[in-house]
Structure 1
Amino acid sequence: MTSVRKTAEAGAKGAAAERRKAIGLLAKASRAELQAAFDALADKPAVQPVRGPETGLVMVRGRMGGGGAPFNLGEATVSRASIRLDDGTVGHGQTLGTDGARARLAAIFDALFQQPARKGEVETLLEGIAARVADEDAAKARQTAATRVDFFTMVRGED
C-alpha cells in the first residue's frame, strides 16, 4: 500500500514539474507564436473566461552574487488570465508586460496541455518556443563573450 502511494506521489510530482516547465515556456512565447499555433488548431476549443485577462504589478527581488540577502529590485508589469474549457479543464497564463491577449492564449494552451489527446499539439509549440529561447540565449552569450576581458598578473623583473 505504501509503495503504491509513493509511486502515485512521484507521478504527480513529475506531472506538476512537466506542467510548470510548459507554463514557463508559454510565458516566454511571443503573441505571434501563440496566435499562429491557435490559428493552426483544427478544432478550436470553446473557452470561457474565469479571470481576466488583467494587468498588475509584481515585486522583483534580487540577491547580491546570487546567494546574498534578498532585496527589492523594483516592480514589473505582468498580465494574467485563467480560462475554462467545456470539459472543465482550467488553464492559467502569465506573461510579462501588458498584453492580456497573450496571457489568454497562454492559458488556453495550458489547458490543452493538460488534456492527453491534445498534449502533442502543445508540445510541438513548446519545442519551437524552447528552440527560439535557446537561440536568443546563445546569441546573448556570444555578445557577452565578445566583451570579455581576461586579466592576468605580470611578474616584475626586479624581484
Structure 2
Amino acid sequence: MGALACMPAGLLAQRYAEVTASAPPALAVRGPEVGLVMLRGRAGGGGAPFNLGEASVVRATVRLGSGEVGHAVILGRDTGRARMAAHLDALWQCPDWRVRIEAEVVAPGLAAEDEAVLDRAEETEATRVDFFTLVRGED
C-alpha cells in the first residue's frame, strides 16, 4: 500500500471519506505514533553506507471488527493521514472491499504520483543548462 503513503494528503482525505462512508469502523491497535527513522545513503549508489540524517514518520495500526489488521507508516507528522491509510489497508484485505479500494483510491493516487513526477521533470528540464566546449582556432 505504498501508493497511500505517497498520495497527497488532500486527495487521500477526499477518497477516504467517499470510500469509507459505508465501511465498518476501525479500532486503533497502535498509535498513531510519531517517531524518527535514520536515513542512510551510499556514495555513488554503491559505496559504504553512511547516516544521512533523521526523518519524522507516523505509524498506525488498526483492526476491523472482522479481524483484518491494517498498518501504515507515513513520512512526516500527519497522524490523521496515517490512520486513514491504515484503515484503508485493513479494508483492502477484505475481498469485498479490495476492488473498490484499488479502483477508487489506489489508482487515482498512482495517477497523481505519476503526474507529480512528470511536473517535476518538466520543471527540471526548463532550467537545465547544456555545457559545451568551444574549439578555438589557435589550438
Q: How far is the alpha carbon of 1:100 from its aligned partner?
A: 0.9
2:69 match: 90
2-side partners of 1:98 and 1:51: how far apart? 16
Q: Which runs of 5+ in 2 are unaligned?
A: none
What pairs with 1:1-159 in structure 2 (closer than 5 Å)? 23-41=1-19, 42-124=21-103, 125-159=105-139
Aligned equivalents of 2:126 and 2:25: distance in 1? 49
Pairwise CA distance, 1:113: 1.4
Are the aligned partners of 2:7 and 2:112 in contact in 1 as well (CA < 8 Å)?
no
- Compute the TM-score of the two structures, normalised by the length of structure 2: 0.90
Structure 2 counterpart SS, 1:103: helix
- Provide the C-alpha distance between the structure 2 equivalents of 1:50 and 1:43, rounded to a whole number of angstroms: 21
Tell me: higher relative CO, structure 1 or 2? Use CA pairs within 8 A at least 6 residues apart: 2
The 8 Å contact of residues 80 and 93 in structure 1, kept in 2 or not, is answered as yes
Q: Determine the structure 2 residue equivalent to 1:10.
A: none
Q: TM-score, normalised by structure 1?
A: 0.79
Amino acid across the alignment from 2:110: A
Following superposition, the deviation at residue 32 of structure 1 comes to 2.4
Gaps of 5+ in 1: 1-22
Q: Is the 8 A contact 1:59 1:74 kept in 2?
A: yes
